[in-house]
Structure 1
């Protein structure tokens, strides 16, 4: 059940709180990517603080925020190139989400080993 809350927080942080400026700008400007990643990480952090002990929560949301940013750095640039070609754009968007889900899951099952302080 805990992982479902992580997925809900991911959806909220990655979609609900992502503005059009963030969505369009993150592929061209690091400023918008940073704002998106910061917003996403804040949402994930709130969820984690309710689910995990403090050290695990901090490690989990920081690691996932960084990995989310790395993933979006590459996938947002790739999807921007194919924005007007739905047959290519949507599989890229789906692949982006697949990477996020795998990242969230792998860090979830290894969360106790991720504590770095």
Structure 2
């Protein structure tokens, strides 16, 4: 049950960070490597992951995976924007790229849960 709850918290974190708390400045900066908006967006994910994991793992583990999630999230988002080209929401490729981006984020969360609950037990 703890695994499901952890996944649920990570999904909630992802929804909040990607769709509720992401500002236009964050969104617009993702394609410029190192731009503060993209970094802040990734840090938001890292903080959320850390908070979610604190219910299930020791503080150092939660912090490490929060930092790792921020780094991975940043690079997934940066790569998506870099390869997106001029695709707009009315273009099919835009949705394929968005879906693949979200798929990679989901795999990241599954990987975190796998390591925390299976490999570190």
Q: Which residue of 2 is the match for residue 16 of structure 1?
A: 20
Q: Which residue of 1 is the match for residue 50 of structure 2?
A: 45
Q: Which has the higher helix share?
A: 1
Runs of 4+ aligned structure 1 residues displaced above 4 Å come to: none
| Mapped contact 2:46–2:69 kept (Cα < 8 A) | yes
Q: Which residue of 2 is the match for residue 88 of structure 1?
A: 93
The normalised TM-score by structure 2 is 0.80
Please, which runs of 5 or more residues in structure 1 have no aligned partner?
Answer: none
Once the 2 structures are TM-superposed, how far is the Cα of residue 52 of structure 1 from its aligned partner? 2.2
Structure 1 residues 37-116: aligned runs within 5 Å:
37-83=42-88, 85-111=90-116, 113=119
| Mapped contact 1:79–1:93 kept (Cα < 8 A) | no
| Mapped contact 1:45–1:57 kept (Cα < 8 A) | yes
CA distance in 2, matches of 1:20, 1:68: 17
| Mapped contact 2:30–2:38 kept (Cα < 8 A) | yes
Aligned residues: 114
Once the 2 structures are TM-superposed, how far is the Cα of residue 40 of structure 1 from its aligned partner? 2.0
The C-alpha deviation readout for 1:51-90, integer Å capped at 9, x for no partner, is 3221221121111111111111101222353126521111
RMSD: 2.0
